[in-house]
Each structure stands twice: as C-alpha cells, then as structure tokens.
Structure 1
Amino acid sequence: MNEVTPVSHDSSVADLLAGGTELLNGGGVPTPEVDAELLLAHVLELGRGELRVRVVTGATVPAEKAAHAHELFARRAAREPLQHITGMAPFRNLELSVGPGVFVPRPETETVVQFAIDALNASATPEPIGVDLGTGSGAIALAMATEVTRARIFAVELSPDAMPYTSENFRRYGEPNATLINADLGDAFPELNGTVDVVISNPPYIPAAATPRDIEVQLHDPALALYGGDDGMDVVRRVSTTARRLLHDGGTLVLEHGEEQAPALAALLTADGWRAVAHHKDLLGRDRATTALL
C-alpha cells in the first residue's frame, strides 16, 4: 500500500485530493477519486459541489484538517468502509447513522424497497401496515415510513450491536408512523397477525461456506447480517413463516436475495403456499428481489 507523509502544513484542496486518491488507489479501493472527495468533504463539512469549487479556486486547507483528512484516507485505504469512517450512509432520501456492528445499506436495496412502497401506495386501506423483518440500520423501514406517510411501519432487529444505530435513525426519521422493537423476527408483532399489507426483508442469505465478494463486507459487516446457514436460506424460511402469520389474504411479501438464489427461493415459497412468485432484477441485470402474494 502506498504511504503518504503526515501533513504538518496548509495544503491545497487539489493536492489533498490527489494524494488521497493515490493512497486509496494503492489500497485497491474501487472508486478512489469519489471516496477521496467524500472523505475530504466530510472533514471540511462541505458538499461535493462546494469542494469542487474550492479545487477550482485554489483554496487551501489548514494543517490540522489536512492531517485529519490523511488519517481518514489511510483508514479507507486499509478497506475500512467509507460509511464507518463518516458515520453516515445515504439511502434514498435518508442519511442513516451506521458503524461497526450494523449492516451498511446497499444501493441495490433502494430498488428492492420500491416494491414494498408501491404495494403500500396501492393499498385501499386508509392506514396500510408494512413490516420490515431484520431492519438493520432501519433503511427499508424508514424509507417506507417517510415515503408513504399514511402507512404504519413496524420493524424488528435482533442484534444488540446494531440497535444503537437503528434507534438513532428511528429517532431522526421514524416519527410519527414507525415503530422499532429489539426482538427475534420469528416472534415479532403477534398483535398484527392477519392485518399486515406488506412484509419485506433483506435477510442474511450468504451460505456459511461462501466468502463475500467485497473486502469491506468480509472484514467489517456483522456475520449475523450476512450468513444464512449451510444453504443461505435458514432465515429466509423463518421470514416466510412469519410473513404468512402477519399478512392478510392478498398481502405482499418482498425479499432481497443473492443473484443465484431465485430458483431455490421460488421453490421454497411455492412449497410454503405463496402465490404469484415473481423475480425482479437490479440495475445491473442480476436477480435481486422476489415478490409473492399470500
């Protein structure tokens, strides 16, 4: 990995970005220029547009902030997730608090949650109910709550390590229509049995013997949010059972899954009695979501 001498003097924004990009590139970061911009913008408390203006105008950065930027560049070059370093992850219209112990929401999940949002919007019920099983940071649940404000949204998360971040995000975005509980998804919300319009989940679905593709996932995402037993489907089976308990007749199930799991998931859901099982591709053309009706 490339190393950069610690900064002890004022530096230009342009030089800092160039040095940061070089360091991140040496660490194998897939998007070194973008990540360098985001990290320096975070240090300077600027938007990326404002940062670029300062590049053009030849602006400088005080030595203390320049040194801080280099510290963050070094952490990212060591493949610490960008979102852990900044403490925030964007998701649709949200800026979510994240860190070690909570699964960082992914861009592809933004397209998966749209199926749940569409189903809530299509409901004739004045206050449709949506449930997110295994909410992690709260990304899916809070997207539903903030984008379908007439809905009532309920979310459950098991991990005590994730809950501080989840709770903070619900404090920020959950009022007045989102409820969070710390519990096992198999037992959650018995009071809602047979009344829910949409159940959605992005469960752990990586087989136990598999290795995640991204280094950041391997090193930093919590195992509880990644691995789903020998075939990756253990938690999916439990989600199917819980969703059948919660949904009313005709209710919708939305599941995110791995790109090669659609056939196995279709077989599982069909055996469980679900109807109209359909698979949906993400923006890269990979099977990413499956929907079904009770």
Structure 2
Amino acid sequence: MTSASPAMPLAEALRLAVDRLAAAGVPDPSVDAELLVAFVLGTGRGGVQAAAIRGDALSPDDAERLDGLVARRATREPLQHLTGTAPFRHLELRVGPGVFVPRPETEVVAQLAIDALRAAASPSPIAVDLGTGSGAIALAMATEVPHAEVYAAENSVEAFVWTKENFAHVAAGNAHLAFIDLAHAFPELDGTVSVVASNPPYVPDAAIPRDPEVRFFDPPAALYGGEDGLDVVRILSGVGLRLAHPGGMIVLEHGEWQGEAIRGILEADGWRAAATHPDLTMRDRATTALRP
C-alpha cells in the first residue's frame, strides 16, 4: 500500500515556481507565479499572498496542476493563454491561440478614442474599431461611453472566434460586430463616424519581435505590416476618411519609431492636425488626426 503524496507548502510552491520562471527569462516571475497559483486555486493574487503568509498548503492535485502550468510558462507560452483571460482596462477578455493578446499600452490608445468619443457633438456618436482582434478597444469604448454606438470589424477566422466570445460575454447592447474585410468595412456608416480606431499590424516583415511570447505565439497576421510595417496603416487612412464625418478622429496604435511616418501618411491623404502621443512608459504609441 502506497501513501498519498504529501501536501506542499504554498510558500515553497511559489518559491520553486519563481525560480523556474526566472531561470527561463520570464520578465516578472514573481507576479506570474502568483497569478498561476491564483488560477489553480480560483482566487486572486491577494488571496495567494495571504495563504502563503498563513502557511497554507497545496493539495497534491493542485501542486501537479501548477507544475504543468509553470512548465508551459517556462517555454514562454503567454500567461494569458494559460489562464484564458487578459485584463484590459475594466474588462476581463477571453484570449488564446489565434488572437493577439491585448497589452497595457493599448489602454492608452483606447483612452484617446474614448476621450474623443465623449467629446463628440452628437448625442449618439458612432465609433468604429478596425481589426478589433479580442475586441479590446471596441468593448472598452462601448462600455465606457454607453451613449455611443460602436462597430467592430475583424477579418481573421481564428481571431473572430475569440471576438465573438468576448462580445457575448460583455453583452454591451451598443456594440456591433462584423466579420468583414477592413478595406470595405461598414459602407452604410460612410461620413457618420466620430472615431475610427485601430491597433493594426505594424511590425516590419523583416523585424524579429524581442519577446518570445510575441514571436512564437501571437498570430503573424496581427503583427506584420509589410516592408516598413505600415501597409495596413495606409489602408486604414483611406478607410477612415471614408467613414469619418468632418471633424471626426482617427486613432492608430504603432511602434515607438513610427509616429513621424504615420503622420506623413495621414497628412498626405488629407487628414489634419496629426499628432503622436506617448504611452505610460513615455514611448510614442499612438497617432491621431482629424478629418477636414
């Protein structure tokens, strides 16, 4: 007769997880270890920290499950793929293979779009999110500006699975989703839109993303934008001019070195007052312009 495996002290399990993740080069091993334990236990980071202080233990089954998750995270599989969710502003979005995982820097892009939408003269302004992916920007606009009507377009089958799930989960009645090519999106809205927003693919084709989580796990269609990374931006500039009413704004996310080039594209197409804005790390992250 064999005895059952002993329970593992939670503090020890955390220490082992942190050491393993740190050795794999995970940027925030302590945070990720706590979040993985929280996922296994169905609690939050605060609950994990309190349990470790109390001297709680992990059951053998939970310890085994945690070990498997830590092993996958050590391969640099995104934490969000392991937990199935990604926080974005006040939302918890469902994500996984096939859809771009929303990043904290995109929250600044969403804020620019939300501010413009709130300032719109219309009592029921219209916004469009082109290439919505997980739905992050669109659902942030819809839930934070409830008097607006928000339309989101996605053209990747793999991503659209997650988009539909998030739209159903958030259940914002003013959010509308379409599977449609971005260049031809929403012709019925031409000339009526107050805010056109997008986080397009903008990595140059020859560039290699630094983080393995991005390089190996984010879908290439959400990353690469042609030789200079701006092929989709050029399309969006024209689509935005079609959709926006005079005074309407376009908001585009981009890499920190692309602001000047994007301002040039927008101004050459006829947009005015092009301006580039930093994210919370003071890296240029988004460019806005107004339709004349």
Tell me how far apart the structure 2 counterparts of residues 192 and 131 of structure 1 sit (CA, whole Å): 9
8 Å contact from structure 1 (residues 142, 174) kept in 2? no
Distance 2:265 2:93 in 1: 33
The code of the aligned residue for 1:102 comes to V
After TM superposition, list the pairs within 5 Å mapping 1:280-291 onto structure 2: 280-291=277-288
User: Hey, what's the Cα distance between the residues in 2 that align with 1:52 and 1:33?
Assistant: 11
Q: How is 1:99-138 mapped onto 2 (pairs within 5 angstroms)?
A: 99-138=96-135
Query: SS state of the match for residue 186, structure 1?
Result: helix
Residues in 1 aligned to 2:5 and 2:224: alpha-carbon distance in whole angstroms: 44
**Alignment partner of 1:61 is 2:58:** yes
Backbone CA RMSD of aligned residues: 1.0
Distance 2:281 2:56 in 1: 38
The answer for the alignment partner of 2:76 in structure 1 is 79
Task: Measure how far apart 1:174 and its partner are.
Answer: 3.8
Deviation at 1:104, TM superposition (A): 0.2
Q: Which of 264, 272, 277 in structure 1 is aligned with 2:274?
A: 277
Compute the displacement of 1:207 (Å): 0.5
Instruction: Work out the percentage of aligned pairs sharing the same amino acid.
Output: 58
Contact 2:154–2:181 under 8 Å retained in 1 = yes
TM-score by length of 1: 0.97
- 3-state SS of 1:107 partner: coil
1:46-99 CA deviation, whole Å, 9 max, x = no partner? 111111110111011110011000100010011000000100000000000000
Per-residue deviation, 1:10: 1.2
Query: Structure 1 unaligned runs (5+)?
Result: 1-6
1:12 is displaced (CA, Å) by 1.1
Q: Describe how 1:207-226 pairs up with structure 2 within 5 A.
A: 207-226=204-223
Instruction: Report the number of matched residues.
Output: 288
Instruction: State the Cα deviation string for residues 153-176 of structure 1 (Å, max 9, x = none).
Output: 000011100111110100011421
TM-score, length basis structure 2: 0.97
User: Where do 5+ consecutive residues of structure 2 fail to align?
Assistant: none
Q: Would you say the 8 A contact 1:145–1:174 is kept in 2?
A: no
- Runs of 4+ aligned residues of structure 1 deviating over 4 Å after TM superposition are none
What corresponds to 1:178 in structure 2? 175
Corresponding residue for 1:4?
none
Q: Counterpart amino acid of 1:274?
A: W
Query: How big is the shift at 1:8?
Result: 4.2
Change (3 A) 1:164 1:8: farther
**Residue equivalent to 2:155:** 158
Task: Measure the CA separation in 2 of the matches of 1:9 and 1:217.
Answer: 38
Using the alignment, how far apart are the partners of 1:165 and 1:8 within structure 2?
39
Instruction: Say which SS state the counterpart of residue 178 (structure 2) adopts.
Output: strand
In the TM superposition, what whole-angstrom CA distance separates every residue of 1:93-123 from its partner, at most 9, and x where no partner exists?
Answer: 0000000000000000001110110011111
Aligned with 1:45 (options 37, 42, 45): 42
Offset at 1:200? Answer: 0.4
Q: Which residue of 2 aligns with 1:3?
A: none
